[in-house]
């Protein structure tokens, strides 16, 4: 049997994930599963108040309770804090963020004391033995009020609740606006609210730290997305020498950005384990995590476009107020900035003005949540495009097509200064409209409106793009981000021909083991099964920038490819030496080097690996072992795009929204594993729908988290979600060899505006122009009532 090289390629095949047999049969190693001899358990006392002065802490009773080994307060751990690594402006206000609050608590759930005991139960019991006297201070919850003169302050020593103002411009917005006004065009303004969300990774956070007194080493297991970054930061924060710190991210059950951080509990566990000379474990409960793990979104978005009378876009102005929460986690201030370049999305503008004000409130800190800045941007521009189309009386798809970058115009430098390498918005949109039966549903919508059906139909459009592949280090530098955006890989062919791929990415559900195996198998010509992927342990995989921002494939996967190609080149030199030919005379097919024109003169890469191991007969200047490294700093971002269309039925009597049909056509370039992509798209859409219809973290005026458990914070399950019709167009990226773009966040970015646009579209004829998220039944019903009241009042005035 002869197979062509093409048909034997594994990249592009829907191979079953190598990870799953182990995961679904429970052979897993979650951090909380780790049991070590002599291990102690930590529990954290959390503030019941949003803002208060700590007058007194008495831990003496708790210290006497059964099984308690130690109790620590802020005074005991003074000087230890969480650093912010993204000071977005030179004058940014960056308050000290102590690992345990010493004098003042600043959000409900703020850490006040740590108990270490011989069981988790006894540690929890002892929390109730700690006495704290608080003097309440005013809660600061409303962002607008927080920015007003004379506002109560979160950090009184800072004199302001403003964290920063960051501005970015392209072109001259004032000129674009003047042009629109002069030509009889429009200046169209909307305000949208990005409600606060709670990330809800399936696995809560957990950390185990084991010290080794004799050497001063610590091993820290953490349910984190970023073991490499945690290691560096732990070294900087604790003073433990970096070479003595080993950080391991074992099986990690999701993160969605919430585990892209250095957390207080990691620092406390590391320090306390060292002090006590025993391993210490801390595991978050779900309700504890709702207060102690970062939240996402929470922005007020003012967006304005200037356009000509026929709807040609000229200028875009965006003013954000972004909630930081009480303190800055590692990249809190930068999150809104990740959206700054995306508000113009797939459209051509002459001018862009973006401004963002970060504000402190007495709430849980915000930070990256799936999409991080880009879902917010996409929501605002896509909501606005639908609203503008309605205002102009044109079809929302038509308005978009008039303004988007045509496929023949790529590469295209946007008004935000990014060079989009590739895209075909026409193709994705054409496919999506066909799959939805766009015209058929529009006809049904008209019939339902005509008949006054209590159940109205709406169609929402979301054409989107995003920047993935974080990130070119030079751009991160320009944005004042403290670290780089490179990724690393080592590929080793072992003496027996089996392969180890070391990666600096840190998978937590994405399927890197499978995808990296596919890439390496193709490059090396070895069986998929022969490849082991090593990750998530700073001792085994010493270099990496970890996993977030849909970066792993576009940066880390390409690094795997480069390392594998370097292995092949080294093997080629050894094979040529042994086959007594010039390296250039060797063809490499299916893992075998063949001397061109000499049948039978060949050597498999596995055999070469053994030769490299024995080193008995290597060419001059070639070192033993068959291994190579690559550390890749990307030149450009990648730009996945797509068109998502959603049809909803809205019960105008109850306000209930049911998704009738959801079509997602994504263009993520070439695909390594379509099954993994499908999973990412499904999960992403679900998370975006969750924001549109279900989820919101709510604080009351006193700063209590009202949605403190899953009874009130509604995470939809499969039972609440429709069938998704998914498809793809393929416009390969031109900026990397695989032509890949990234898919980790696409669904989340695209789906929220598609759904809300559909809800508003269903009700526009009733006078509804906007709907605050989440579009809960009560919100939908009230919005209809308000619109009906407004229209009957105006009718009354006319009659």
The SS3 call for residue 174 is helix
Contact 555, 470 (CB under 8 A): yes
**Beta-bridge partners for 595:** 586
Residue 635 or 654: the one with the smaller Cβ distance to another protein is 654
Task: Using CB atoms within 10 Å of the CB of residue 735, give its burial: 0 to 12 exposed, 13 to 18 middle, 19+ buried.
Answer: buried
Beta-carbon count within 10 A of 569 CB:
12
The SS3 call for residue 468 is strand
Q: Does 725 bind another protein (CB under 8 A)?
A: no
From the list 124-132, 216-224, 593-601, 741-749, the region that binds another protein by CB under 8 A is 124-132
CA angle 734, 738, 741 (to 5 degrees): 65
Measure the N-to-C terminal CA separation of the chain; round to a whole number of Å. Answer: 85
Nearest-Å Rg of the Cα atoms of the chain is 28
Q: Which is nearest to 325 in space by CA: 446, 197, 507?
A: 197
Residue 69 or 385: the one with the smaller Cβ distance to another protein is 69
**Residue found under tokens 């379509």:** 674
**To the nearest whole angstrom, how small is the minimum distance from the Cβ of residue 17 to another protein?**
25
From the list 9-17, 374-382, 553-561, 715-723, the region that binds another protein by CB under 8 A is 715-723
Q: Is 414 left (phi over 0), alpha (psi -120 to 50) or beta?
A: beta
Q: Does 124 bind another protein (CB under 8 A)?
A: yes
Which one of residues 540, 615, 658, 715 is an interface residue with another protein (CB under 8 A)?
A: 715
**To the nearest whole angstrom, how small is the minimum distance from the Cβ of residue 778 to another protein?**
5
φ, ψ of residue 181 to 5 degrees: the values are: -65, -40
Element (H, E) at 286: helix 286-292
Residue 736 or 776: the one with the smaller Cβ distance to another protein is 776
Q: Does 31 bind another protein (CB under 8 A)?
A: no
Residue 479 or 714: the one with the smaller Cβ distance to another protein is 714
DSSP codes of every residue in 380-422: HHHHHHHHHHHHHTS-HHHHHHHHBPPGGG-SEE-TTS-EE--
User: Applying CB under 8 A, what is the total number of residues that bind another protein?
Assistant: 29
From the list 83-91, 117-125, 240-248, 361-369, the region that binds another protein by CB under 8 A is 117-125
**To the nearest whole angstrom, how small is the minimum distance from the Cβ of residue 41 to another protein?**
10
Q: Which is nearest to 373 in space by CA: 298, 427, 464?
A: 298
Q: How far is CA 727 from CA 131, 662, 677, 688, 742, in A?
A: 58, 11, 11, 18, 15
**To the nearest whole angstrom, how small is the minimum distance from the Cβ of residue 686 to another protein?**
12
**To the nearest whole angstrom, how small is the minimum distance from the Cβ of residue 782 to another protein?**
7
Using CB under 8 A as the binding rule, the residues of this chain from 637 to 656 that contact another protein are 653-654, 656
Q: Does 737 bind another protein (CB under 8 A)?
A: no
Q: Does 707 bind another protein (CB under 8 A)?
A: yes
Which one of residues 719, 723, 796, 799 is an interface residue with another protein (CB under 8 A)?
A: 719
From the list 151-159, 370-378, 713-721, 788-796, the region that binds another protein by CB under 8 A is 713-721
Q: How far is CA 275 from CA 127, 209, 210, 212, 515, in A?
A: 20, 12, 11, 11, 42
The SS3 call for residue 369 is coil
Which one of residues 496, 712, 769, 794 is an interface residue with another protein (CB under 8 A)?
A: 712
CA angle 661, 667, 668 (to 5 degrees): 120
Residue 479 or 721: the one with the smaller Cβ distance to another protein is 721
Q: Does 443 bind another protein (CB under 8 A)?
A: no
Contact 255, 370 (CB under 8 A): no
DSSP 553: I
The Cα–Cα gap between 784 and 537 comes to: 54
Contact 333, 324 (CB under 8 A): yes
**To the nearest whole angstrom, how small is the minimum distance from the Cβ of residue 52 to another protein?**
21
Residue 610 or 694: the one with the smaller Cβ distance to another protein is 694
**To the nearest whole angstrom, how small is the minimum distance from the Cβ of residue 715 to another protein?**
8
From the list 53-61, 87-95, 491-499, 708-716, the region that binds another protein by CB under 8 A is 708-716
Buried b (16+ CB within 10 A) or exposed e, 280-319: bbbbbeebbbbbbbbbbbbbbbebbbbbeeebebbbbbbb
Residue 542: partners with Cβ closer than 8 Å, 6 or more residues away: none
Q: How far is CA 127 from CA 52, 59, 209, 278, 458, in A?
A: 19, 9, 21, 20, 52
**Beta-bridge partners for 499:** 493, 531
Which one of residues 32, 104, 110, 125 is an interface residue with another protein (CB under 8 A)?
A: 125
Residue 235 or 656: the one with the smaller Cβ distance to another protein is 656
Site string for another protein, 759-788 (x = CB under 8 A): -----------------xxx--xx------
Site string for another protein, 666-705 (x = CB under 8 A): ----------------------------x---x-------
Site string for another protein, 255-294 (x = CB under 8 A): ------------------------------x-xx------
Residue 204 or 742: the one with the smaller Cβ distance to another protein is 204
Using CB under 8 A as the binding rule, the residues of this chain from 595 to 624 that contact another protein are none
Contact 386, 392 (CB under 8 A): no
Q: Does 706 bind another protein (CB under 8 A)?
A: yes
Q: Which is nearest to 164 in space by CA: 370, 352, 334?
A: 334
**Beta-bridge partners for 70:** 116
Q: Does 709 bind another protein (CB under 8 A)?
A: yes
Residue 303 or 784: the one with the smaller Cβ distance to another protein is 784
Residue 135 or 785: the one with the smaller Cβ distance to another protein is 785
Q: Does 48 bind another protein (CB under 8 A)?
A: no
**To the nearest whole angstrom, how small is the minimum distance from the Cβ of residue 658 to another protein?**
12
Which one of residues 444, 500, 589, 720 is an interface residue with another protein (CB under 8 A)?
A: 720
From the list 180-188, 384-392, 422-430, 716-724, the region that binds another protein by CB under 8 A is 716-724
Q: Does 35 bind another protein (CB under 8 A)?
A: no
Binding site for another protein (CB under 8 A): 120-121, 124-125, 128, 285, 287-288, 653-654, 656, 694, 698, 706-707, 709, 711-712, 714-717, 719-720, 776-778, 781-782
């Amino acid at each position: 049997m002869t197979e062509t090289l093409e048909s034997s390629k594994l990249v592009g095949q829907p191979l079953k994930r190598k990870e799953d047999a182990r995961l679904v049969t429970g052979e897993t190693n979650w951090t909380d599963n780790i049991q070590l001899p002599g291990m102690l358990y930590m529990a954290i006392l959390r503030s019941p108040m949003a803002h208060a002065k700590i007058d007194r802490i008495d831990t003496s009773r708790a210290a006497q309770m059964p099984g308690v080994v130690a109790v620590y307060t802020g005074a005991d751990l003074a000087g230890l804090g969480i650093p912010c690594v993204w000071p977005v402006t030179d004058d940014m206000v960056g308050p000290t963020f102590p690992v345990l609050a010493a004098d003042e608590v600043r959000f409900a759930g703020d850490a006040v004391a740590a108990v270490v005991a011989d069981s988790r139960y006894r540690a929890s019991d002892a929390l109730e033995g700690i006495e704290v006297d608080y003097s309440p201070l005013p809660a600061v919850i409303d962002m607008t009020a927080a920015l007003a003169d004379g506002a109560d302050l979160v950090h009184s020593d800072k004199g302001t609740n403003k964290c920063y103002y960051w501005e970015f411009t392209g072109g001259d917005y004032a000129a674009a606006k003047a042009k629109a006004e002069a030509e009889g065009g429009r200046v169209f303004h909307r305000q949208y609210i990005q409600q606060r969300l709670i990330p809800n990774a399936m696995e809560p956070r957990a950390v185990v730290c084991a010290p080794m007194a004799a050497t001063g080493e610590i091993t820290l297991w953490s349910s984190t997305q970023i073991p490499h970054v945690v290691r560096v930061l732990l070294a900087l924060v604790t003073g433990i020498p970096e070479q003595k710190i080993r950080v391991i991210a074992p099986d990690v059950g999701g993160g969605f950005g919430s585990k892209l951080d250095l957390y207080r509990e990691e620092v406390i566990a590391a320090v306390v384990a060292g002090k006590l000379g025993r391993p210490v474990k801390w595991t978050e409960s779900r309700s504890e995590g709702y207060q102690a793990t970062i939240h996402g979104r929470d922005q007020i978005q003012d967006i304005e476009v200037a356009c000509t009378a026929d709807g040609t876009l000229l200028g875009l102005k965006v003013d954000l107020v972004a909630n930081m929460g009480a303190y800055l986690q590692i990249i809190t201030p930068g999150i809104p900035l990740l959206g700054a370049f995306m508000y113009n999305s797939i459209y051509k503008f002459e001018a862009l003005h973006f401004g963002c004000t970060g504000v402190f409130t007495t709430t849980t800190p915000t930070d990256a949540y799936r999409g991080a800045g880009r879902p917010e941007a996409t929501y605002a521009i896509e909501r606005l495009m639908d609203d503008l189309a309605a205002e102009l009386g044109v079809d929302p798809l038509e308005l978009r097509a008039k303004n988007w970058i045509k496929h023949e115009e790529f590469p295209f430098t946007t008004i935000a200064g990014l060079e989009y390498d590739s895209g075909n918005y026409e193709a994705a949109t054409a496919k999506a409209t066909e799959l939805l039966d766009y015209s058929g549903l529009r006809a049904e919508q008209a019939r339902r409106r005509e008949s006054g059906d209590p159940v109205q139909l709406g169609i929402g459009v979301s054409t989107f793009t995003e920047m993935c592949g974080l990130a070119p280090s030079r751009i991160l530098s320009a944005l004042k981000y403290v670290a780089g955006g490179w990724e690393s890989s080592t590929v080793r062919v072992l003496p027996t021909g089996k392969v180890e791929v070391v990666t600096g990415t840190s998978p937590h559900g994405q399927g890197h083991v499978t995808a990296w195996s596919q890439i390496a198998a193709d490059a090396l010509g070895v069986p998929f099964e022969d490849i082991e992927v090593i990750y998530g342990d700073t001792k085994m995989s010493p270099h990496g920038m970890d996993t977030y921002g849909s970066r792993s494939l576009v940066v880390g996967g390409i690094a795997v490819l480069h390392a594998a190609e370097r292995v092949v080149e080294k093997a080629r030199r050894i094979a040529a030496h042994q086959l007594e030919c010039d390296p250039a005379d060797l063809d490499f097919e299916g893992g075998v080097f063949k001397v061109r024109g000499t049948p039978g003169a060949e050597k498999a890469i596995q055999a070469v690996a053994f030769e490299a191991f024995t080193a008995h007969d290597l060419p001059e200047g070639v070192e033993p072992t068959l291994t190579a490294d690559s550390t890749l700093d990307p030149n450009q971002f990648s730009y996945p795009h797509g068109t998502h269309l959603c049809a909803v039925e809205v019960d105008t009597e109850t306000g209930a929204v049911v998704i009738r049909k959801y079509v997602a056509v994504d263009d993520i370039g070439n695909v390594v594993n379509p099954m993994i992509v499908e999973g990412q798209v499904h999960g992403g859409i679900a998370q975006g729908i969750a924001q549109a219809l279900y989820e919101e973290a709510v604080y009351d005026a006193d700063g209590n988290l009202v949605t403190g458990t899953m009874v009130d914070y509604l995470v939809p399950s499969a039972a609440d979600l429709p069938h998704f019709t998914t498809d793809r167009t393929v416009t390969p990226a031109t900026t990397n060899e695989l032509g890949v773009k990234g898919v980790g966040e696409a669904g989340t970015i695209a789906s929220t505006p598609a759904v809300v646009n559909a809800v508003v579209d269903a009700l526009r004829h009733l006078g509804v122009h906007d709907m605050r998220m989440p579009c809960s039944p009560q919100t939908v019903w009230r919005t209809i009532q308000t619109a009906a009241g407004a229209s009957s009042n105006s009718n009354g005035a006319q009659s």
